[in-house]
């Protein structure tokens, strides 16, 4: 049996954890409770954060958006701030889970569960999100790339809590794309996912490109060398195919119940081309002009 507490403030959270250092944080429950059922392991104490109002806010200030960890995926979808300034996060939240799961699951939960398949993560990686960590000692900010260290592993100690997600509003010239490949169109764990942030000049030259990949390694992956090599190159199917092929060569995905390693590598090769399906300037609809 677990004792569940729903404290009203972060101070109370820290106090509970002082007396129960093994306490586990409960966000929306859509990952934790499922894991508890699967493993049969029940932590002796659960601390639910949903009553702490400050953890559910979305604010925009000085060019930074701060998202509380308990903001649900539905709240992300409903937020005009996110829709306008972080459309990539909006797109990622659209394909996560299912409607009721989006009503319950939180961005903080998605981050701290730290699954390589976490749907919000690739978006946060290309946005270079900073994660605010609170403890009785104070706050610090850590880049997301340093926060998650492996599948299911973060740097959080048992006195620390994720208290905010900070994202610098990207240059409005960036266009964001989120691609998720799952076994079906809803209620799907991603087999491979990709977030891209592209800044393309009017004459179709890459000014800046970032790609983050989910479910292809122990953590979300970016390849800065591939990204920087794209600067000045012409945006189009050839370039996107090159990104895919070079990425495919670098990744070492696992085989699991959902997909083989080779499938993930195969799909990685062509996945960036899907950006063109969304682009306003589409290629003409004759087939076979891509290979």
> Residues in the site for other proteins, rule: CB under 8 A?
1-6, 26, 29-30, 33-34, 37-38, 40, 42, 46, 48, 50, 74, 97-101, 103-104, 181, 183-187, 189, 257-260, 263, 266-267, 270-271, 273-274, 276-277, 282-287, 289-291
Q: Of 228 and 260, which has the nearer Cβ to other proteins?
A: 260
Least distance in angstroms from the C-beta of 289 to other proteins = 7
Residue 103 CB, shortest distance to other proteins, in Å, is 5
Closer residue to other proteins, CB minimum distance, 96 or 167: 96
Minimum distance of other proteins from residue 170's CB (angstroms) = 26
- The least CB distance from residue 86 to other proteins, in Å, is 21
Can you state the percent helix, strand and coil of the chain, rounding each to 5?
35, 25, 40
CA–CA distance, 272 with 70 (Å, rounded to integer) = 31
By beta-carbon proximity to other proteins, the closer residue of 185 and 203 is 185
Using alpha carbons, select from 62, 57, 65, 51 the residue that is nearest to residue 5: 51
**Cβ atoms within 10 Å of 278's Cβ, excluding its own:** 13
Q: Which residues pair with 161 in a beta bridge?
A: 134
Nearer of residues 170 and 272 to other proteins, judged by Cβ:
272
Query: At its nearest, how many Å lie between other proteins and the CB of residue 68?
Result: 18
In 3-state terms, what secondary structure has residue 149?
strand
Residue 141 DSSP SS3: strand
Q: Are 227 and 235 in contact (CB under 8 A)?
A: no
């Amino acid at each position: 049996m677990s004792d569940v507490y729903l404290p009203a403030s972060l101070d109370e959270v820290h106090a509970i954890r002082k007396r129960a250092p093994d306490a586990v944080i409960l966000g929306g429950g859509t990952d934790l409770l499922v894991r508890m059922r699967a493993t049969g392991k029940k932590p002796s104490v659960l601390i639910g954060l949903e009553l702490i109002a400050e953890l559910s806010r979305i604010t925009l200030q000085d060019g930074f958006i701060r998202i509380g960890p308990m903001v649900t995926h539905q709240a992300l979808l409903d937020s005009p701030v996110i829709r306008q300034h972080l459309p990539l996060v909006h797109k990622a939240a659209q394909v996560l889970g299912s409607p009721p799961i989006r009503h319950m699951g939180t961005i903080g939960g998605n981050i701290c569960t730290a699954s390589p398949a976490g749907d919000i993560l690739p978006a946060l990686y290309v946005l270079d999100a900073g994660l605010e960590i609170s403890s009785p000692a104070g706050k610090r900010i850590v880049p997301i790339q340093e926060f998650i260290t492996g599948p299911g592993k973060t740097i959080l100690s048992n006195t620390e809590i994720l208290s905010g997600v900070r994202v610098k509003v990207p240059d409005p010239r960036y266009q964001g794309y989120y691609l998720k490949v799952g076994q079906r169109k809803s209620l799907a764990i991603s087999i491979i996912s990709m977030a891209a942030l592209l800044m393309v000049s009017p004459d179709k030259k890459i000014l800046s490109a970032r790609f983050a990949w989910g479910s292809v390694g122990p953590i979300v992956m970016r390849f800065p060398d591939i990204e920087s090599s794209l600067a000045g190159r012409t945006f189009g199917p050839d370039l996107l195919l090159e990104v895919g092929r070079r990425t495919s060569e670098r990744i070492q995905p696992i085989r699991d119940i959902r997909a083989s390693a080779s499938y993930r590598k195969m799909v990685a090769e062509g996945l960036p081309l899907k950006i063109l399906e969304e682009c306003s300037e589409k290629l003409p609809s004759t087939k076979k002009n891509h290979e």
